[in-house]
Amino acid sequence: MSHPVPIQFQPVDAEALAKATGRIVVVVDEGGKLGAAGRRLDRLMKGALARYLAAPAFVDQKAGEGTVLAWPAGLVAEAVQVVKLDRKADVAQARKAGGAIGRALSEAGTLVLAEGGRHLAELSFGLALRAYDFTAHKTGTAKAPGPVTLMVPNPEAAAAEAAPLAALAEGVFFTRDLVNEPANVLTTYDFAARLAAMQELGLDVEILEEEDLSKLGMRALLGVGQGSESPSKVVAMHWRGGAKDEAPLALVGKGVVFDTGGISIKPAGGMEEMTMDMGGAGVVAGVMRTLALRKAKANVVGLVGLVENMPDGRAQRPGDVVRSMKGDTIEVINTDAEGRLVLADVLWYAQERFNPCGVIDLATLTGAIIVALGHENTGVFSNNDAFCEQFLKAAKAEGEGAWRMPMGDAYDAKLKSRIADMKNIGGRDGGSITAAQFLQRFVKAETPWIHLDIAGTALLQADTALAPKGATGWGVAALNRMIRDRFEK
């Protein structure tokens, strides 16, 4: 498992700059003003730092970005990186600045001089997130970054503020690792085992096997996995940090460890990315890990449906009719619309078993949401305006793009089936919306519910300010924030 780089907070020590190896980072405001230690560094560099800060290049440098001055005279360090962070910087800018540092940490160590910067804990969080590197399947000697030290005016206060963010970084890394893993490693067995191991953090973890699921009547979920050698499972993770009699928030994740499309098989091009079709379950797992690590004072249960969708002589066929745990029958028009079948049963089970105060499901559910929103925003669907607004507020605060999508009876009518209670698809137009309408049929009217379609945000093909190419961990921070703000007392 990947872990964030350890970060030490220390008092500002100007004398340590001359002997520092690796990389020195100077955090400077938009005016280019240096503190006492910064001026000491400039003298060691024979005025080179001040010359850069007075140059047009620094003026043009955007907030949160860094510029490298390589092999500076007068220092042992191999480079000095100048990171601009405005005096009125917000959380997003501070994290971006941290990301600029985390992008290029030195094997010999990195010393960050932040004498007057704002949001230093957030800067350290951005640093940790961007330093992520998934190397589990690369041979050779891994190039691990050396120690990272942040020199700040009040290290004790900064470290205390950074502690819950360090737990959040662990949760994000856990999600990224799960989403990045290939399907021959992250089988339903392996996924369930990784979740069971979190019992050592204080989570209660229960694994439901196929026999249990059959007794519960989860025919919709079981139908998806019946063509695979890997058995389907449902894993429930319960964190009891709130009042004993307080109803939990339920998080539900789609965990299709590989999706060929089944008999309605996908095109070969790009199918290798379907290792990420368990992204919703990965986010739920990351949130639960975060809550346990920071000892959240809330009751939350995370449930994931783990299946593999394969073509086989036993696989589900287009035209089959399955009965859900709720009792409704579903005509399977397209076996590649499998995630909603998994979620239907887990959503119903979550409500029947735990009587939650609200339910949020996450799934890499539709390509249609990418057509609608690209890779900048997750599609948000809900039956409760207040509940939805709480999530959107949390997502905005964490800088995780989210956009509410419409729902309505006209979309729901597209799911009408000739031979069953409903079809599992409603046609190409409005595909992400009809998928949400399908899921809403398995949510009780009195239960506040949010559906998050993360197909466009779970994994990206380019670096971002806070993540390298690959799994992003989108949603862990927003859900952790929502739980902190709305459910913890």
Residue written as token pair 């390509």: 367
Please confirm, yes or no, whether 62 is among the known catalytic residues. no
Please confirm, yes or no, whether 176 is among the known catalytic residues. no
CA 472 – CA 173 distance, rounded (Å): 9
Q: Is 421 among the annotated ligand-binding positions?
A: no
CB atoms within 10 A of CB 29: 17
The helix (run of H) or strand (run of E) holding residue 46 is none
CB atoms within 10 A of CB 230: 18
Tokens of 301: 């249960």
Among 39, 43, 103, 266, the one annotated catalytic = 266
Q: Is 338 among the annotated ligand-binding positions?
A: yes
Q: Is 312 among the annotated ligand-binding positions?
A: no
Tell me, what amino acid is at 32? G
Among 340, 414, 423, 441, the one annotated catalytic = 340
* Residues 354 and 302: beta-carbon distance below 8 Å: no
- Find all residues with CB under 8 Å of 30, minimum gap 6, and list them: 63, 84, 86, 87
- Find all residues with CB under 8 Å of 389, minimum gap 6, and list them: none
Q: Is 295 among the annotated ligand-binding positions?
A: no
Residue 89 φ/ψ region, left for φ over 0, alpha for ψ in the -120 to 50 degree band, beta for the rest: beta
The helix (run of H) or strand (run of E) holding residue 173 is helix 155-180
Q: Is 277 among the annotated ligand-binding positions?
A: yes
CA 466 – CA 95 distance, rounded (Å): 8
Q: Cα-Cα-Cα-Cα dihedral of 427, 429, 432, 436, to 10°?
A: -60
Instruction: Find the radius of gyration of the CA atoms of the chain.
Output: 24
DSSP for 117-166? Answer: -S-HHHHHHHHHHHT----TT--S-------EEEEES-HHHHHHHHHHHH
Closest CA to 402 of 485, 481, 478, 340: 478
Active site (catalytic) residues: 266, 340
Residues at the binding site are 254, 259, 277, 336, 338
Residues making up the annotated binding site for Mn(2+) are 254, 259, 277, 336, 338
